[in-house]
Amino acid sequence: MQRIEFGKTGIKTARFGLGCMRFPGEQKKVDEIIRHALDHGISYLDTAYIYDGNEIKVGKALKGGYRDKAVLATKSPVWDIRSHGDFEKYLDEELKRLGTDRVDIYLMHSLNPDNFKKIVENDCFSFLDRMVEKGKILHRGFSFHGTNALFKEIVDCHDWDMAQIQLNILDEFEQAGLDGLKYAYKRGLATVIMEPLRGGHLINDYPGEIDALIGGYPEKRSLVEWAFRWLYNIREADVILSGVSTMAQLKQNIAIFDEAEYGCMTSGEMELIHGIKTAYESRHAVGCTGCRYCMPCPFGVEIPEVFRYYNKVAMLDKHWLDKSTYRNLVMNEGKGADKCTECGLCVPKCPQGIMIPERLKDAQAVLTSK
């Protein structure tokens, strides 16, 4: 598998990084996934304080000599920071959960206008520098969900070692975008790509036109392969995360990344990707990745589930089936968009900037129509 120099950190790692957010519940399965990855040349592991119980699972899987094989990245719960001292308090808790004395890359999580203001007001910068001196963290980074302009402002405001952004074939011009990626790379930051498949939504419930496009192309690859190929083709994309839930997915990803190479795509392949993007965008309803950062809703609305049905109905032609399943399984259990009181509590938590109450209304109208 292609290995790269990770910015100015001195780290060498494979281009495929293991996203730990969507691991299975059973520790045994997590151990198998992480250890198989580390035994097959993958070293970058991405977790976060907010991923429920995840740091503890990762820590357990890294026992028995695996910690030293890993480049371990985790993230500060920025939105919970109330004072400067909170940064170290959370980091110490994370180190304890992970069962280690150091984090290789420590990220300020999900920087958007509010979270960026918070880290500036509470001076995360001197905290990060001090933790590097103490050896509790080795490198400083941030993950990002905001505009391209804000991304550049953040890149330039501190001596960061890495930046993590959302990028996939649908998001070339969204958030930091490809332009932001190139900006960070040019300034010497290591780069990490998250949501390469938009939380799996890009490859599930997609319109039938895409199958026709892929099937008609001379070189036979699955949609997953095309989505990753578009990313590993990009010189500035150092590590590409994939959040696996099963061993089968991990093995599939390893096989895909065995072909990873910069600049491998032909102009014909780029045209195919453009066609896939156009087909997808002509039907897509809402850009929810299913991350669940907006949950729980105090009024019981299963926000990502409502949006999943909304997108399914928009993408596929079996409208009646998905609409009746939504009514029977989601609304009947009191988890439908009809329970939204428009309190707005979920809106600032959404990294995709979705105006959730408004889009829930749209979803409810479509999902309950004839």
Query: Where does this chain bind ligand SF4 (CB under 6 A)?
Result: 288-294, 297-299, 301, 303-304, 307, 340-346, 349-350, 352, 354, 356-357, 360
Q: Are 313 and 319 a contacting pair, CB within 8 Å?
A: yes
**Residue (44 or 293) nearer to ligand SF4, CB:** 293
**Residue (16 or 307) nearer to ligand SF4, CB:** 307
**Residue (198 or 229) nearer to ligand SF4, CB:** 198
Task: Please state, in angstroms and rounded to a whole number, the distance separating the CA atoms of residues 145 and 110.
Answer: 6
**Residue (188 or 344) nearer to ligand SF4, CB:** 344
**Residue (51 or 226) nearer to ligand SF4, CB:** 51
DSSP readout, 42-87?
--EEE--TTSTTHHHHHHHHTTTTTGGG-EEEEEE-GGG--SHHHH
In total, the chain counts a number of residues equal to: 370
Task: Please state, in angstroms and rounded to a whole number, the distance separating the CA atoms of residues 11 and 265.
Answer: 27
**Residue (5 or 342) nearer to ligand SF4, CB:** 342
The least distance separating ligand SF4 from the CB of residue 351, rounded to whole angstroms, comes to: 6
Task: Please state, in angstroms and rounded to a whole number, the distance separating the CA atoms of residues 27 and 362.
Answer: 39
Q: Are 87 and 122 a contacting pair, CB within 8 Å?
A: yes
The least distance separating ligand SF4 from the CB of residue 312, rounded to whole angstroms, comes to: 14
Task: Please state, in angstroms and rounded to a whole number, the distance separating the CA atoms of residues 55 and 42.
Answer: 18
The least distance separating ligand SF4 from the CB of residue 107, rounded to whole angstroms, comes to: 18
**Residue (242 or 352) nearer to ligand SF4, CB:** 352
The least distance separating ligand SF4 from the CB of residue 175, rounded to whole angstroms, comes to: 12
The least distance separating ligand SF4 from the CB of residue 347, rounded to whole angstroms, comes to: 7
The least distance separating ligand SF4 from the CB of residue 340, rounded to whole angstroms, comes to: 3
Task: Please state, in angstroms and rounded to a whole number, the distance separating the CA atoms of residues 99 and 342.
Answer: 41
> Do strands 103-111 and 162-166 pair parallel, antiparallel, or not at all (unpaired)?
unpaired
The least distance separating ligand SF4 from the CB of residue 296, rounded to whole angstroms, comes to: 8
> Do strands 137-144 and 71-76 pair parallel, antiparallel, or not at all (unpaired)?
unpaired
Query: How far are the Cα atoms of 56, 74, 120, 224, 307 from residue 170, in angstroms, in the given order?
Result: 33, 26, 31, 13, 17
Whose structure tokens read 């996934």? 33
